[in-house]
Chain A
Amino acid sequence: MTTTTERSLPQPRFTDAEAGAKEFPDSTARNYSYFTPQKRKQTHYEDVTVEVQPDPRHYLSQGWLYGFADGQGGYPLEWTALKAWGSDRPVPERFPGSGGKGYDWPAHGWHEFRDPNEEWEMTFYRYNSNVVRQITQNVDSARETKAFEQWNPNWVQFVERNVGAWMHVEQGLGLYLFANANRRGPTNMHNTAMAVNSMHRLRFAQDLALYNLTLSDEIEAFDGEAHIETWNSDPAWQGVRRVAEQLTAVDDWAEAVFAANIVFEPLVGELFRSGLVQQAAPRNGDYVTPTVVGAGEHDYAERDLRYTLAMFDLLVNDKEFAQHNKDLMNQWLSTWTERCIKASRDLQPLWSQPDAKPPRFEDSLDRVKSRFSEILRQLGLDDPKELTL
């Protein structure tokens, strides 16, 4: 005989607590009311991102509660020398009987930034899952069709050394520039966009490392560790390494992002990836590497550059500090263009390594210089004189 003991269960009941069940004040007020959307309607991205990081200049009435040893708390606007309108107004003083109000939303121009990619967790994981699936399929398909057997011998060495070396750039900047910057920006929109940028780079670094692992398995002559030696001591790479390290040494978060995404990426990153690897690979029997490298190129060109332009565009058109910001950016352009052009020129020997030659180095460099100038035009900035070096 089966016996059952009475189980203890919660007793859900009909409460009729769904939207529209009654009419009363606020019963139809179903939008987040504490920010002004960028366009007419609030977007899903704005709803899940805006104002999560508070600001004592508007709503945070009691101010930050914990500070560093110097007494600074939260996300000081002074962590970059750039300014958005309202930045110079002091944090409203609160005192006995002062009330809690600060300035009206948004209090300053930093809060006007929205990531045009509208990245939040759902979009982020969908995009990156698609990328890793596509790369895995491409590489699997190449393996099944023995595509690597068609590579020129010199190309094998080129990939193991040079494509391999690029993974270190991505890893270093992903962690020590972009992940680091996610603590530094003045709003949640800035910091989330930079965190996403960081993960693009770390993913691309791993894509290259795992591709390298596959090649070690598939190509007998492929030295899977050659990239380490190349990164550590190949003279052609030391200029890139020097700039990559300099980028992680910048204290001002906006300068670091500007230098990386506005200057370094077109002049060095795209030069190497689109100006060399993508051009040389097919001529040397390799149609696989461009699909892996292309994913990283797409991250930068279509997503990371996009948010970066939107972020700096607000600042060069700022109603209070446009000229101040332009002057600073021009200084940064001068400093970083010189460094990046030097690093690019150091890479020149790579152009002669493959059996089937890519376009001339100078042609590739001219092309990325034009691209760089076009990016600067979008921000209303002029070419720095260092571009002619």
Chain B
Amino acid sequence: MSRQSIAKAHEKIQELAWEPLYHEPVSQYGTDYTFAKAKKKDPLKQVLRSYFPMQEEKDHRVYGAADGAIRGNMFRQVEERWLEWQKLFLSIIPLPEISAARAMPLLFRNVPNPELHNGQAIQMIDEVRHSTIQQNLKRLYMNSYIDPAGFNSSLKNFQNDYCGTIGRQFAEGFITGDAITAASIYLTIVAETAFTNTLFVAMPAEAAANGDYLLPTVFHSVQSDESRHISNGYATLLMALADEGNHQLLERDLRYAWWNNHRVVDAAIGTFIEYGTKDRRKDRESYAEMWRRWIYDDYYRSYLVPLEKYGLVIPHDLIEESWNQIWNKGYVHEVAQFFATGWLANYWRIDPMTDKDFEWFEYKYPGWYDKYGAWWENYSRLATPNGHNPIIFEDVDYVYPSRCWTCMVPCLVREDMVMAEVGGQMRTYCHEACRWTDVEAFRPTYQGRNTPNMGQLIGKREWETLYHGWNMADVVTDMGYVRDDGKTLVAQPHLNLDPSKMWTLDHMRRCPPFASPNVLLNEMTPEEQLAFHADYIRQGPGGRPAPAAV
């Protein structure tokens, strides 16, 4: 269709919207926001007659590239270090995508403008596209990459491993709680508009540098839909801003959504990009540099700040603090170290860092070696079984961290850890912003205002709780992370596929029992808890124990 005829067609399909005369559509999702009915324009301006062939054409390119990758033996050139992290990433990402599809109906009754619903329905099916095209990519990796273990079990293992909950927030945050908080502010205004840049643009570039051109093919195709979704979010945001009564909620939700996205996405994608790559050219951008460009400059300065004039209160302090965490407090490095510490509770293999990696980290993040170098040398030393236990049970100057109750990334920047007693349970938080999210934001009143539609943080939020007192052989068996010989672990702290170098259940059986930090914390007296906190915030960097008191 020509551009002119699309415009005319789009105008025509506006006639499809109608208001009910006899029965109101069911209202199943509440919000504390208020929206005035006003004539709005569909920001997507998408007509299905042109939309379907456009998506089909994009599909042809994706599947053509997939064919080419197989015929061209792409997997002879992919870096195993990179593909192993894809076992985690491609477990996570189909769920947020499909959750975004499921989130769209949350907006129908709460944003009372039928003109916007057309765009939301198209976003719904776009997200079905993303989820299934990504599942298909993982299937191709499983079939064609040397080690299918972890790909073949991904949707079981993602749902029970020790870092799955971190990624799952990026999905569940879209579909529950206050409908506008979830499906508009968290999903479209922050997750899609800010963080898909690092997910779908920065990360694919790194994949290509590691010999994998399929991931960029699929994810750039996905990203070309995201720009349309951003328009959906923007239209809803402007409507929300039109009502002064919403400003307090917008401020709350931007703070929660920004901080949670930073904690979750920067943890995962930062680790993939910095620790999953073999490309150590000094002039390739680090994750911090990418973040500064894509998120700080492109999102914060170019998108968010101009909205201030409409009354939006922007969490400048949290945005600066996120940068501070990434640049000065080593957030990504602390997370990667944690993922590698618990390698045995994962379902992918984590390659040790080499001298070349050390050199690059030191160049990009001056002071890195002093903080993390010795630990990674220990990781290499302890990588293959040789009479010792996995690194988590060895003395390598690392204190196993407490989980953050809110974002479920552990409290890795130790000095920032705060505690609060909630419902008779002592909880730990990685940062004051996460304490605020649990204790103040996700509550039925907020700053004296009733917020009856705000969601709740639920679930067994500390993975370690489930396995308190267990032997690791039983933990790994319970989770199903064992290869088809019945004893070799899926996860390994190295890339050597020689069975004699791989860890087995027998090695795990020799380990001491595993303990939950939160269970232990709640067994302490109040005085012991205070002492625990005082010690904890003196730990680090790199998880080091607190220096002995003088």
What residues make up the interface of A, taking CB atoms closer than 8 Å to B?
8, 10-22, 24-34, 44, 47-54, 59-69, 71-74, 94-101, 120-122, 124-126, 128-129, 131-133, 135-136, 167-168, 171-172, 174-176, 179-180, 182-184, 188, 191-192, 195-196, 198-199, 202-203, 205-207, 209-210, 212-213, 224-225, 227-228, 231-232, 241-242, 245-246, 248-251
Contacts and interface: CB of A to CB of B under 8 A. Distances in A.
A44 B453 CA distance: 40
B350 interface: no
Contact of A65 (B142, B165, B478): B165
B502 interface: yes
The 4 closest A-B pairs by CB, nearest first: A25-B483, A10-B209, A18-B75, A34-B156
B229 interface: no
B56 A14 contact: no
B547 interface: no
A132 B148 contact: no
Nearest to B74: A18
A64 B9 CA distance: 43
B295 interface: no
B79 A65 contact: no
Contact of A15 (B48, B49, B78, B172): B78
Contacts of A135: 49
A99 B281 contact: no
B144 to A, nearest CB: 5
A206 B122 CA distance: 13
Interface stretch (B95-103, B190-198, B245-253, B537-545): B95-103
Given A125-B56, A195-B124, 15 more contacts: A25-B149, A25-B488, A47-B139, A52-B155, A65-B172, A65-B458, A69-B456, A121-B128, A121-B132, A124-B128, A125-B55, A175-B108, A180-B105, A191-B98, A205-B13
A313 to B, nearest CB: 24
6 contacts: A32-B152, A51-B155, A54-B95, A64-B172, A126-B59, A202-B48
Interface in B294-338: none
Most buried by B among A20, A59, A192, A205: A59
B460 to A, nearest CB: 4
Interface in B123-176: 124-125, 128-133, 135-136, 139, 142-149, 152-156, 159-160, 164-165, 168-169, 172-173, 175-176
A210 B98 contact: no
A207 B499 CA distance: 60
B107 to A, nearest CB: 10
B82 to A, nearest CB: 10
B132 A120 contact: yes
A213 B175 CA distance: 37
Contact of A133 (B53, B144, B458, B502): B53
Interface in B384-443: 408
B284 interface: yes
Nearest to A8: B283
A52 B177 contact: no
Contacts of B284: 8, 10
Nearest to A126: B56
A32 B279 CA distance: 31
Contact of A210 (B13, B168, B175, B208): B13
Given A65-B458, A71-B456, A198 B121 contact: yes
Contact of A34 (B8, B142, B153): B153
A122 B63 contact: yes
Contacts of A232: 18, 21
Interface string B1-18: 000000011001101111
Contact of B145 (A18, A63, A213, A231): A18
B234 interface: no
Contacts of B145: 17-19
Contacts of A183: 102-106, 175
B199 interface: no
Nearest to B114: A175
B95 A121 contact: no
A17 B135 contact: no
Contact of B48 (A26, A63, A132, A172): A132
B15 A209 contact: yes
B25 A249 contact: yes
Contacts of B507: none
A199 B479 contact: no
Nearest to B453: A69
B160 A60 contact: yes
A74 B159 CA distance: 13
Contacts of A250: 26
B17 A171 contact: yes
A25 B353 CA distance: 25
| Residue among B18, B73, B129, B408 having the largest count of chain A Cβ atoms under 10 Å | B18
Contacts of A125: 52, 55-56, 59, 129
B383 to A, nearest CB: 16
B355 to A, nearest CB: 17
Contacts of A62: 160, 164-165, 459-461, 463, 466
A15 B80 contact: yes
Contacts of A210: 9, 12-13, 47, 49
B293 to A, nearest CB: 17
B371 interface: no
A50 B159 CA distance: 14
Contacts of B125: 124, 195-196, 198-199
Interface stretch (B34-42, B467-475, B525-533): B467-475
B161 to A, nearest CB: 9
B18 A231 contact: yes
A22 B146 contact: yes
A35 B144 CA distance: 21
Nearest to A60: B159
Interface in B465-493: 465-470, 474, 478-479, 483-485, 487-488, 490
Contacts of B56: 125-126, 129
B457 A29 contact: no
Contact of B15 (A26, A34, A228): A228
Contacts of A94: 460, 465-466
A192 B128 contact: yes
Contact of A168 (B16, B121, B468, B487): B16
B168 A61 contact: no
A198 B101 CA distance: 12
A25 B444 CA distance: 52
A224 B15 CA distance: 10
A59 B458 contact: no
A249 B148 contact: no
Contacts of A136: 49
Contacts of B447: none
A22 B495 CA distance: 13
B160 A31 contact: no
Interface centre among A11, A48, A95, A168 (most CB of B within 10 A): A48
Contact of B497 (A24, A98, A133, A192): A24
Given A61-B159, A65-B457, A132 B173 contact: no
A205 B283 CA distance: 53
A24 B487 CA distance: 12
Contacts of B156: 33-34, 51, 59
A348 B144 CA distance: 61
Contacts of B24: 245, 249
Given A12-B77, A132-B49, A209-B16, A53 B139 contact: no
A173 to B, nearest CB: 10
B94 interface: yes
Given A132-B48, A225-B15, A96 B465 contact: yes
B255 to A, nearest CB: 17
Nearest to A251: B26
A11 B211 CA distance: 9
A81 B125 CA distance: 27
Contacts of A167: 16
Contacts of B165: 62, 65
A30 B458 contact: no
A94 B76 CA distance: 44
